Amino acid sequence: MQTKGREFKDRIYQEFARIGKAISSPRRLELLDLLCQGPRTVEELSKQAGQSVANTSQHLQVLRSSRLVEAVKRGHFVTYSLADNNVLEFFRSLRTIAEDRLGGIERVRSNFLEERGVEAHKDSEKLMERVHAGEAILVDFRPLEEYLAGHIPGAISLPYEDFDTRIKDLPKDKGIIAYCRGSYCAAAIEAVRRLREQGFAAERLEDGVIEWKARGLNLAFGEN
């Protein structure tokens, strides 16, 4: 016969498991990663995640049912955001545990970087010292909406999709420090590769806004 204590524990762990089920999909994890950058509409998330609006909406509903994200409807559009900063910290912790425990993550990343001739690791503090000294400029290659929602102070916005039309705006007499959504964002990696091909002294900052906030540093908002 089941005791009250056993029933209590079963119910508690069933509730805990709801979070596990909600993040059991790689697609939903990517959506959480995107929302760590700032609120986005379903359509924007669909575009960035490379999946249909219908599938994106279904995944968001699962995340919402577990109270990981919230939704606000404005006119014909629904904007999603993380439920609170605890969700951002949860996602960051999950990523850190995976990096520590699963060797395959580093192998996949290292192979991707090596194929593009981009270094795997750089000292973030030294790179930022070059920016502060005026020796380099910091360029945010995320979409403009994410930049406006919060970016590393001093960064200029150059969405990767505008690379071809705006590369002429970058100075060749200074270094270029590129960043996007952190160490697993391909935009900054590809930007560094292409900048070097065109004669720029480009390097990659592995930090994104998640890492910046985790170190207790302030973000800038809106246009510089």
Q: Tokens standing for 139?
A: 């360029």
Closest CA to 136 of 168, 187, 170, 182: 170
CB 179, CB 139: distance < 8 Å: yes
CB 24, CB 66: distance < 8 Å: no
Catalytic, 180? Answer yes
What is the full DSSP assignment across 60-98? HHHHHHTTSEEEEEETTEEEEEESSHHHHHHHHHHHHHH
Which residue among 180, 187, 195, 209 is the active-site one? 180
Query: Helices 26-35 and 85-101: crossing angle, nearest 10°?
Result: 130
Neighbours of 212 (CB within 10 A): 20
DSSP 103: H
C-alpha span between 11 and 197 (Å, rounded)? 58
Question: Among all residues, which ones are annotated catalytic?
Answer: 180
